Structure 1
């Protein structure tokens, strides 16, 4: 590949993606030349048909780097590459207009367009995501999904040093603010020049719809509030989630809980997550049905799942909004100290909330309400219904929306640590990290010479199942099921 051909092909791809028109070709080629630090273009070259945006951008970035357009710090290369990929990205108004045009054909056509664009312009980091390790693990509740997150690159020492001297700014306020759209980025804030947001109407409000750069599941998307306001689970939450799945019927939509410990990583900006993925919890059947007398048109039941989940189904979304609000308000006031469930502590702090997930089932709407409690105790200072100390060597982070639904997002450190555990089990290593030692010893004693990779995957699956059991407020035991039944009896 030579420089002139790469510039011509990249400009041609930008035109194909709708970012520019054919009449803009010469102008666009000159903009690309200037950005990469070149000032000459070969004559009589035609587009070769190369539409591999990532290969072309890598090549052009290498040229720019050799021309001194950015330094060795990885963040500055990311900022430059986002500027380059912005050439492939139509303006926000154009993206929204095209999304609406596609939506008139079908909601799927609209999301397919936006998803494809977000991959081609490298906003969705497909190559980084491909590094993640993913597998399934059998459990009594169905197959669980496990991902070891290897996609987000670690910062190099030069960048860490540079960030210490970087100018501090509160703009944008957080990574989810709409002001990120088109933001160039800086050492301590990621580049978003090629970032686009589609406007969605939810319950009479305008919200933003975007894809996640480091997706954890298929078409992982984020629906974010226009204003920087904190997470809050309430009646309008349920209305918005059901509006999302009504507008985008191939997607589920869910919200992290709005309290520390049981909430997500960003509680400062109200947002939801959505995508085209069947999570293990969505496949789980009802353990038993029950009736909520106030809502005769709603089918209710307890899901066969290690966490405490109530599933509601109806053909009218407003019935589900009302029933979900009724259950949330009951749960926020419910205490059963026999199973360490306390709604409010003496200082008035609220400890109960819900992680809600909505989806379509044919003509019906369905919503799962996962009961959450963020109390702590002397025995469990990190949270009574949080991963306990015996599993924190694998997972100590909050159990948010994605984990609740049966997909474990495990830290990248495990990639190398688990290799040592394997060697220890096989007698090829004498020690492992101290926090893995009791677990590794237990696994070694139980090992029966089966395929070591399969053995380790099953072991990780068992740890994740234990994590979910810890997070369940009503345990799947005789006493726990009886306690759950007592709460259900209050829904009258």
Structure 2
């Protein structure tokens, strides 16, 4: 396509997705000409002819424009600079925040679900969520004793090239926006060390009378993966307000689950500088896990309580009155923060450093509110310098990173390197090669030696499924490592000691 055909194809994309209307065609063409530093359409080109395009054509249309822009010196030909430039291009098709919020409000008045479905589609249509990258993520489910867990190998977040990394290191440090979650990101042009956000639109609302914003994650790990963030740049903190925010959220969005990362290093999320939650329209494996031991807390007989059958240590509270659930959560939180059980190797603090915190997760079950409290502890030792309740070293060949909220709920986010490694590993197993002699694959050698004898029929047709199944079992072990109370008779007795302390 010529650059002029590409411009009109992008206008056609705007029409088919509803980002623009017929009244906006000339305006949008002129905006695109401006961004591309063109004075107008070339003589003889029928600029009034807008082609019919499909939603899935966006990647090729943008590639055509970016290739041209790179040749003309408008952007450098690397993934970081191309992403900055194509977001600037797509910003020409996106309406102002006030118009988006008005549209959302009109739909919410009809149905919260209809409003979020439109907003999610809008976030994909604008290329804020890059559909053509997200679809490349590798996903499957694995059967474990805790139910079917979700596994993802994330490929949608592009890796920076060496030139961009060097430029980011040399770039002038900026405190604006203060972080990736701040409201000031809306419409921001970005820079080499901060993604462009011209297509980003926020839905503001209130939780417990305080201002929050709703957006979707650009790298969605599950359906309608949303981020809810405080409008003020305040640090992450699990307090007695946290579950009240979450319980309030599911009143506004009853079809969503919502939860919070923990607020301490090792067991916390990747962004601890800005208070935020994550949720979405998805039922995680942990939500399906049953309560295996019920108990009652004196004074809270109206709230059902239980220990959940899950590799991590989870208390589930359920009732029709969210404030009663919140009051009981207050008691559990305050007790856990200060709780020490040396026999179970649980220390509230050592040398003045606090270790105990929680992951709270809230969902609706009809008239019932359900709050899961996942007990976390970030203590380290010489044997486990990355954390005692963290994936242990023998599992690092699959998962070494911190276990955050999403993984706690039963969805593994595994590093992109595993796509190629598992494919090569499968071929090496089928070919009978010495895995321990391979520089890249040797990290998996002990694991393969452990699981391979279980399978009689190992061939090129079965090996992918075998590896997927075994990765799922490793993930369940990862979660067991992260559990403060182990699923042994001794571990469950220690868990009951904490329950009795309530």
- Is TM-score (shorter-chain normalized) higher than 0.5? yes
Question: Matched residue of 1:417: which SS?
Answer: helix
144-153 vs 107-116, which deviates more? Answer: 144-153
Distance 2:255 2:70 in 1: 42
Distance 1:5 1:415 in 2: 37
442-451 vs 366-375, which deviates more? Answer: 442-451
Distance 2:195 2:48 in 1: 36
Q: Which aligned pairs between 1:465-484 and structure 2 lie closer than 5 A?
A: 465-484=476-495
Do structure 1's residue 26 and structure 2's residue 26 form an aligned pair?
yes
Corresponding residue of 2:83:
78
1:58 shift after superposition: 3.3
Q: Normalising by the residue count of structure 2, what TM-score does the alignment of the two structures yield?
A: 0.93
Corresponding residue of 1:147:
152
1:413 shift after superposition: 1.1
Indicate which of 440, 452, 456 corresponds to 1:448. Answer: 456
Q: Structure 1 residues 15, 147: CA separation in 2 closer, same or farther (over 3 Å shift)?
A: closer
Distance 2:93 2:118 in 1: 14
Distance 1:211 1:155 in 2: 22
Question: Matched residue of 2:121: which SS?
Answer: helix
Distance 2:64 2:424 in 1: 37
Indicate which of 415, 421, 426 corresponds to 1:411. Answer: 415
416-425 vs 273-282, which deviates more? Answer: 416-425
Indicate which of 231, 238, 243 corresponds to 2:243. Answer: 238
41-50 vs 78-87, which deviates more? Answer: 41-50
91-100 vs 159-168, which deviates more? Answer: 159-168
> How many residue pairs get matched?
490
Q: Which aligned pairs between 1:382-461 and structure 2 lie closer than 5 A?
A: 382-430=386-434, 431-432=437-438, 433-450=441-458, 451-461=462-472
Distance 2:28 2:395 in 1: 54
Deviation string 1:425-463 (CA, Å, 9 cap, x unpaired) is 334422343432222332344442241112111211111
Question: Matched residue of 1:145: which SS?
Answer: strand
Question: Matched residue of 2:93: which SS?
Answer: coil
Question: Matched residue of 1:426: which SS?
Answer: helix
Corresponding residue of 1:378:
382
8 Å contact kept, 1:17–1:90: no
1:169 shift after superposition: 1.6
Q: Normalising by the residue count of structure 1, what TM-score does the alignment of the two structures yield?
A: 0.95
Corresponding residue of 1:119:
124
Distance 2:444 2:24 in 1: 59
Distance 1:26 1:456 in 2: 54
8 Å contact kept, 1:36–1:63: no
28-37 vs 280-289, which deviates more? Answer: 28-37
Question: Matched residue of 2:399: which SS?
Answer: coil
Corresponding residue of 1:11:
11
8 Å contact kept, 1:311–1:369: yes
1:157 shift after superposition: 2.5
Corresponding residue of 2:133:
128
Distance 1:443 1:194 in 2: 47
1:21 shift after superposition: 5.9
Do structure 1's residue 45 and structure 2's residue 53 form an aligned pair?
no
1:160 shift after superposition: 2.5
8 Å contact kept, 1:13–1:88: no
1:12 shift after superposition: 5.2
Corresponding residue of 2:200:
195
8 Å contact kept, 2:207–2:245: yes
8 Å contact kept, 1:421–1:440: no
8 Å contact kept, 1:230–1:267: yes
Indicate which of 278, 283, 286 corresponds to 1:281. Answer: 286
Deviation string 1:121-163 (CA, Å, 9 cap, x unpaired) is 1101211111111111111111111111122222222322333
8 Å contact kept, 2:128–2:218: yes
Q: Structure 1 residues 67, 447: CA separation in 2 closer, same or farther (over 3 Å shift)?
A: same
Question: Matched residue of 2:397: which SS?
Answer: coil
Distance 1:13 1:418 in 2: 37
8 Å contact kept, 2:250–2:258: yes
8 Å contact kept, 1:19–1:90: yes
Q: Structure 1 residues 72, 59: CA separation in 2 closer, same or farther (over 3 Å shift)?
A: closer
Question: Matched residue of 2:370: which SS?
Answer: strand
1:240 shift after superposition: 0.7
Distance 1:36 1:13 in 2: 18
8 Å contact kept, 2:59–2:132: no
8 Å contact kept, 1:424–1:444: no
1:294 shift after superposition: 2.0
Q: Structure 1 residues 128, 442: CA separation in 2 closer, same or farther (over 3 Å shift)?
A: same
8 Å contact kept, 1:425–1:447: no
Question: Matched residue of 1:105: which SS?
Answer: coil
132-141 vs 37-46, which deviates more? Answer: 37-46
Distance 2:467 2:9 in 1: 46
8 Å contact kept, 2:12–2:51: no
Q: Which aligned pairs between 1:150-299 and structure 2 lie closer than 5 A?
A: 150-299=155-304
Question: Matched residue of 1:10: which SS?
Answer: helix
1:278 shift after superposition: 0.8
8 Å contact kept, 2:79–2:158: no
Distance 1:409 1:23 in 2: 43
